[in-house]
Amino acid sequence: MADNLSLTKRILTSILMLTLAGLVIFLFPNWVFSLLASVMIGIALMEFFNLVEKKNIFIYKYIGVAIGMCVPVLIYFQMGGEGYFTLEPFFIVIACLFIFVLQFIRRDSSQSLSSIAVTLFGLLYIAWFFSFFIKIKFLQNGALLVAFLIIVTKMGDVGAYLVGNAIGKHPLIPRISPNKTVEGTIGGLAFSVMSAVAAKSFLPHFPYGHLVVLGVLLGILAQVGDLAESLLKRDCAVKDSGAVLSGFGGMLDLIDSLLFTTPIFYFYIVVLIKQ
């Protein structure tokens, strides 16, 4: 009964999120897309820093969240042809300096290394990686590219969940995630490849060979991203990163599989497809 209720919540939340994503991707201007990305980053970073506090590591989490939410906004101005120079690397350097200065004003210098390292890691892992969505959105046919990325990545999650629940018997890496199985991993990869090929109409100028490669690449990276977040949660002894999304847990639980697929997909498009 509890499993059926959880599945129902997942389905309803998924429908709501997909509807919102479709509207923002295809109908609203890029600044709305960038603003939504900023809000999602802010929530995910707050969840991440809350996890870190469970390890008794001191951190300026509100300042870290504010810095992280600025990243997609700066990339929007950089990519939007507003006449701004390359703000992104400049901002990263300034943010790094600022995080060090914050440690100078603390009365207690213990855990300084941990605090700095964790803050910078959170900004890199969540804020910067997820902000590649903005760069993809500004490419030619950016809305279709974003939709393709989300579909292929998330279909991998769906495949892993369905196949793992149906026939999963062999644990994948039980010390990190005891519920993930080898069968579920293979099923997730198969779903990613099939969805990439099925989404040919989204990217008609992409040869099928590239679609298959992208399906395999994104399918693998999606599951690595999921395992990476599971590793962090395991270390902090929590099941979910938060509770903002009914049936899914936290925002970080929702976007974990996208954190590695998004930047790699961008570089694949720019370097290999040369778009």
- Exposure on the CB side of residue 182, measured as CA atoms within 13 A: 3
pLDDT in tens, 113-131: 888 999 999 999 999 999 9
For the ranges 37-41, 143-147, 178-182, the lowest mean pLDDT is seen at: 178-182
The helix (run of H) or strand (run of E) holding residue 180 is strand 177-181
Residue 88's pLDDT band, with cuts at 50, 70 and 90, is: confident
Residue 191's pLDDT band, with cuts at 50, 70 and 90, is: very high
- pLDDT, position 121: 94
Residue 190's pLDDT band, with cuts at 50, 70 and 90, is: very high
Mean pLDDT over all residues of the chain?
Answer: 87
What is the residue range of 10's domain? 2-273
Residues 6+ apart with CB under 8 A from 146: 25, 133, 136, 137
Report how many domains make up the chain: 1
pLDDT in tens, 229-242: 989 988 888 887 77
Tokens of 137: 């959105």
pTM, entire model: 0.90
- pLDDT, position 6: 57
The helix (run of H) or strand (run of E) holding residue 172 is strand 171-173
CA distance 62 to 60: 6
